[in-house]
A and B are shown apart, each in its own frame.
Chain A
Amino acid sequence: MAIKYLYIDDNPTNDGALTKGFLSGLKTDQLDFDEYYIWVRETQDGKWKIREDLEHFIKENSYQGILFDWNLTASSSQIANGDTSVGLAQHIRQIISFNKEGVKNSIGAIKDIPLVLCSSKGNIKEIMDLDKTGADLFDYIYHRDEMIEARADVALHSLSKGYEKLNEKERALISILHSDETTFNNLDIIFQEDIKSLMQSPSHEIARFILRELIEYQGLLIDEDLLAARLGVDIEKSGEVWVKLKKELELFKYQGVFEDAWERWWWLEIEEWLSNNFPDISFQTTKAVQRVQLISGKFNLEGLKPAQPLDRCDSDEFWTICYATKKPLDFFDGFLTNIRTSYPWQDDIYVSNKAVLDFEGGQEGKWKISPTEKNRLKKYKTLLNSEES
């Protein structure tokens, strides 16, 4: 049965055709929207009733998620009354987190469900960045235009399924992360402590931690780009062979909550596999060509292509990726960004020399180079100028 989301639009002038059109791109066999529910700001008698309405509505229809489509054009009085997407999301989170007696509980008045925000405002992410507490209420934030391309349908579906898992009465960390005891015990000790301590919290708090702190950052888990980089592989050039290789490494894939929307691998397990199979070789200080030779030999793969350094980069001893281009990178050929990591298990984020020069030290709203790197960049530019002139 398809998962059903409630879609809330705050634009009363939107006619059905536009919304239907938009949702038709997200609807799949797996995901459905209870058509849509047009947000009526005020009732006939001028009284605001949406909160109670919404509570009943969610319960009655057993919605498995809410997609807010928000124009963010709230007036100051609306903000004061909490009549905004943030206010509403806050309300929902509250009624989930607290039972009638006002005690924080893992199982609230209604079932915990994912809340996703989307908007046609071009700068939605920047706006939400400024409002951290607001942003934290949502499991994911999209610009409406990018949803189709970003496969938001898969994400929405995955979020719901993940929440179901988290909502289970007998919560088990091992099954949430789908890892075995040994592997879990080998993970960063602080991570272990932190996630354990969340086990009595509402599902959305665990979800937030897994999405934001585990999946979003490279470290314990790595994504496809970084996996390829560390194996020295050029994904595009290798084509189908890469897909084959990924299959070979399927065992090390993250299979915990949200895995179907966010493809990740346990780095610890890959690392262990590497050291078992190539005991005398440090992959980090091995050239991409050799890495690819070793891996190809191991799995009898033909046509696996080594990645080349980006322009203005020399080393192919890749160990990270360029944040701007997602291409393999050796730290030495890049600059640290100002994107701060909050936990020790999260890798620092770098951009390549090329990206730093192409984007002149940053992309608005995405990244900038770290202030600690500013002087080095200056020197680097001076060096290039003198070489080029």
Chain B
Amino acid sequence: MENVSFTVDAGLINRLGLELVGRAETAVSELIKNAYDADANYVELDFIETIQAGGTLVITDDGNGMTKDQLIQGFMRISSGDKVDNPISPKYKRSRAGKKGIGRFATQRLGKRLILTTQTRESQSSLKITIEWDMYETHKELITISHPIEEIPKERSQGTTLRIENLREAWSEATIKRIFRYTSELIQPNYLSDTAKSLRESNDSFEPIFYQTVGLERNKIADVQELIFDFAIATIEGYVGTDKIGYCNVSSKRFELDEITEISAEGNKNEEIISFQLLENIHFKTYYFIYNRTEYYRDGISKMLLNQIKDFAEERSGLRLYRNGFRVLPYGEPNDDWLEFDRRWSKESAAITIPFGNKNLFGFIEIVDKQGRLFEETASREGLIENDALKELKYFLMQSLKWGRGKIAGSIEFRKARKKWVKKQEDKRSVPQKLEDIIKRIQSLGEDISKGIQENGNTLISNEQKELLENTLAELRKTTISIEEDVNAQIEDLAMMRVLAGLGLVIAEFVHELQQFSPAFNGGLSFLSRQNLDEQSKEVTLNLQKSFNRFKTYTSYFDKAISRNVQRELEPINIKMAINEFINTIKPDAESNRIAVDKDFKGFDLYTCPMHPSEWSSVFFNFYSNSKKAIFRVQSEGKILITAEEDKSKICIEFMDNGDGIKENIQERMFEAFVTISQPVTDDVGEGLTGTGLGLKIVKDIIRAYDGEVYVSLPKEGYNTCIRIEIPKATKTQLEKYGY
């Protein structure tokens, strides 16, 4: 009987290579894993002339290297059992990450020729083997193909070099970056600070370094993540050393912060610092980002970049835990809220103050606990056992980040940035700005495409680019339509404004003319009062005189306002005086409407930035006529309170009344054009011009023009409505300039 065995066709190698390692990226990452598994501290990848296919990739590590035996029995033997037999690496006891026997196929997948050199620390020389993968063509017996092993002088003390030539694909910078990101996933990043490094007991680090060589230039490819972290608006970092005392540092160039504090263990009653019971050799570093708010970033960050970071955060943010150099899952995985940040802060983070959810943080926590004294992994390898040490760790992290968050939120620069953002939120982008943004996007897309052509030599644009282009054009179309709508709306606004402005001029003229009459009235009344009249006539004269005086207060107030306005000169306004003047003017009217008008000032020299004096007349009269109507609707004894005080660089004015209040649904919109807050009222209160719904819009326009704010605020007790104005205070220079 004849025995037969399977023969293997050489073509199998090619098949295995292509089928086991589908994507070139996977191939590279497998090779990096191999270096890691070989206890390397670094692995260098150099992509040489890879802009087009046919380039070279050199992968160098300082791992254990291979003996001749290991090379023959391991590398050259398909489906060898080394990784199955030895799941832990000899030197650093790393869990081997590479898939079994994939490495050699990975090199085959990548290029047509492999030149492998390897040496161990003990060996006297290096081994070099060259494999031409094209030799493995079909219809050849596998065992008939052999490769020479050379012994050559040692290149370095230990490690393996894989030189993959005649690469099958082109590797652009973008692809290299992508693979870099992909491979750095699993390993604890080295960018925890130096203090962290010193905490480690051994030199167990691993760092892949990527280079791209074009011509004579060899450039290091930066870690995307590191690149991103450079943009962080703040970093919060902390550690618990062997003395078990916790420290935390928050630093932010943008917000001019660099503070350090001691973090006490739980249970301090008297503000004293308590050291931790168990915790030691802990280090963490978090990078903090706020999305959609470019205003918060130093030197400005482009919206696109910030969006990229946001996308990146979708998968990569969170607080990741590394124990003795290894990721412990699931901490920091998407949707893992192990420190309960999202639960605690994401509601608040919605927009109000300072967003502080997992998505806002890229965090790395390092535990050095070689003996496993403090932390134990659960049997199912799904995290650490909830013991006291873990509780302490969570507490420490929570307290540190809470502190850091508070520091950021409290910093002046943050508040400034926030204010800027809030304002922008309200304003939205103007139409020209929107267009400008679109143009910029198209421009940068164009640059991307031409760069792509340069790098890849192909003129096809990627799907992403195509999509972006289409989206951008769609937005352009949309914006164009919105311009039209905007313009129409503004024309409508303008038409009304023109009517009012025209009317204003007529009124100005009229008020001025009225001034001519008052001496005549005065004279006549004075004459009458000096005559011997009967009682009734005397009373009539007296009433006439009173009414006339009231009338005169009005006309002279407006005459003054108008004549000042004609000068068109801005001046810092003493708001107390403006309010006094206004109250004096309306007093008779308020009294006859049974409305008490009070004022309450805090502080002295409340000068606003230079404004038209008449603008305050407009503002106050608007508020007053609204208040009057609101009070009329509740049919009660009315009262109005006007307050003024300063708040750092602002003058704050509040106008309160005890009318029927403003419905919440209208509070947001009430400063827009044509929104009237008044219900139809009888004519005796005088609907007049204020019913056009433009009054408050004009108020808002005035206040906004000076970078101020006007909004519905909380009234004091006894009042139902409060409109608050915040307007910049006059600066010292302004006051000096105007001679105050």
Contact = CB atoms under 8 A, between A and B. Distances in A.
Interface of A: 11, 14, 17-28, 120, 122-123, 144-145, 147-148, 357, 359-361, 381, 384-385
Contact of A25 (B516, B524, B556, B559): B524
Given A24-B523, A147-B519, 9 more contacts: A18-B519, A18-B520, A22-B519, A25-B524, A25-B527, A122-B560, A145-B552, A359-B577, A360-B605
Contacts of B552: 145
Interface string B588-623: 000000000000000111000000000000000000
B547 to A, nearest CB: 16
Most buried by A among B521, B526, B563: B526
B477 to A, nearest CB: 56
A122 B530 CA distance: 27
A213 to B, nearest CB: 28
A212 to B, nearest CB: 25
A145 B519 contact: yes
A120 B555 CA distance: 12
A242 to B, nearest CB: 24
Contacts of A26: 523, 526
Contacts of B518: 120, 144-145
Contact of B576 (A18, A27, A147, A360): A360
Contacts, number: 72
B577 A360 contact: yes
B522 interface: yes
A120 B605 contact: no
B67 interface: no
Nearest to B602: A388
B479 interface: no
A314 B665 CA distance: 53
Contacts of B576: 360
A11 to B, nearest CB: 8
A11 B523 CA distance: 18
A357 B604 contact: yes
Given A148-B526, A360-B574, A25 B519 contact: yes
B124 interface: no
Contacts of A28: 530
Given A357-B604, A360-B574, A122 B523 contact: no
Contacts of A145: 515, 518-519, 522, 552, 556
7 contacts: A11-B516, A14-B516, A20-B520, A21-B523, A148-B525, A361-B605, A381-B605
B517 interface: yes
Contacts of B559: 122
Contacts of A144: 518-519
A22 B604 CA distance: 42
Contact of A24 (B527, B574, B603, B604): B527
A381 to B, nearest CB: 5
Nearest to A13: B516
Given A123-B563, A145-B552, A145-B556, A21 B604 contact: no
B522 A22 contact: yes
A371 to B, nearest CB: 11
B345 to A, nearest CB: 34
For the residues of B in contact with A, the DSSP-based class is: helix
Contacts of A25: 519, 522-527
B400 to A, nearest CB: 36
Contacts of A123: 563
Given A123-B563, A147-B519, A24 B556 contact: no
Contacts of B525: 25, 148
A27 B603 CA distance: 49
Nearest to A26: B523
A19 B520 contact: yes
B521 A21 contact: yes
A18 B522 CA distance: 10
Contact of A17 (B520, B527, B560, B563): B520
Nearest to A364: B577
Nearest to A69: B519
A384 B603 CA distance: 9
Q: List 7 tightest A-B contacts by C-beta distance, closest first.
A: A25-B523, A21-B520, A25-B526, A22-B519, A24-B527, A22-B523, A18-B520
A24 B605 contact: no
Interface in B533-587: 552, 556, 559-560, 563, 574, 576-577
A137 to B, nearest CB: 22
Contacts of A17: 520
Contacts of A19: 520
A256 B321 CA distance: 101
Interface in B494-538: 515-527, 530
B516 A18 contact: yes
B574 A148 contact: no
A24 B556 CA distance: 22
Contacts of A359: 577
A385 B604 contact: yes
A145 to B, nearest CB: 5
Most chain B Cβ neighbours within 10 Å, of A120, A122, A147, A360: A360
Contacts of A23: 523
Interface in B265-296: none
A360 B523 CA distance: 35
Interface centre among B576, B604, B605 (most CB of A within 10 A): B604
Contacts of B519: 18, 21-22, 25, 120, 144-145, 147-148
Interface in B210-257: none
Nearest to A24: B527
Nearest to B515: A120
Residue from B525, B527, B563, B574 with most neighbouring chain A CB atoms (10 Å): B527
Interface in B2-53: none
Contacts of B526: 24-26, 148
Contact of A122 (B563, B574, B603, B605): B563
B79 to A, nearest CB: 84
A22 B526 CA distance: 9
A26 B522 CA distance: 10
B304 to A, nearest CB: 49
Residue of B516, B518, B520, B605 ringed by the most chain A CB atoms within 10 A: B520
Contacts of B522: 22, 25, 145, 147-148
Contacts of B523: 21-26, 148
A330 B178 CA distance: 84
A122 B556 contact: yes
Contacts of A360: 574, 576-577, 604-605
A26 B605 CA distance: 42
A385 B604 CA distance: 8
A230 to B, nearest CB: 31
B524 to A, nearest CB: 4
A5 to B, nearest CB: 14
A343 to B, nearest CB: 27
B310 to A, nearest CB: 45
Quick one: which of A11, A20, A22, A23 has the most chain B CB within 10 A? A22
B739 to A, nearest CB: 9
Nearest to A27: B527
Given A123-B563, A145-B518, A24 B577 contact: no
A16 to B, nearest CB: 10
A360 B578 CA distance: 12
Nearest to B606: A360
Give the residue among A19, A20, A148 with the most B Cβ atoms within 10 A: A148
Contacts of A120: 515-516, 518-519
A18 B604 contact: no
A249 B520 CA distance: 39
A157 to B, nearest CB: 15
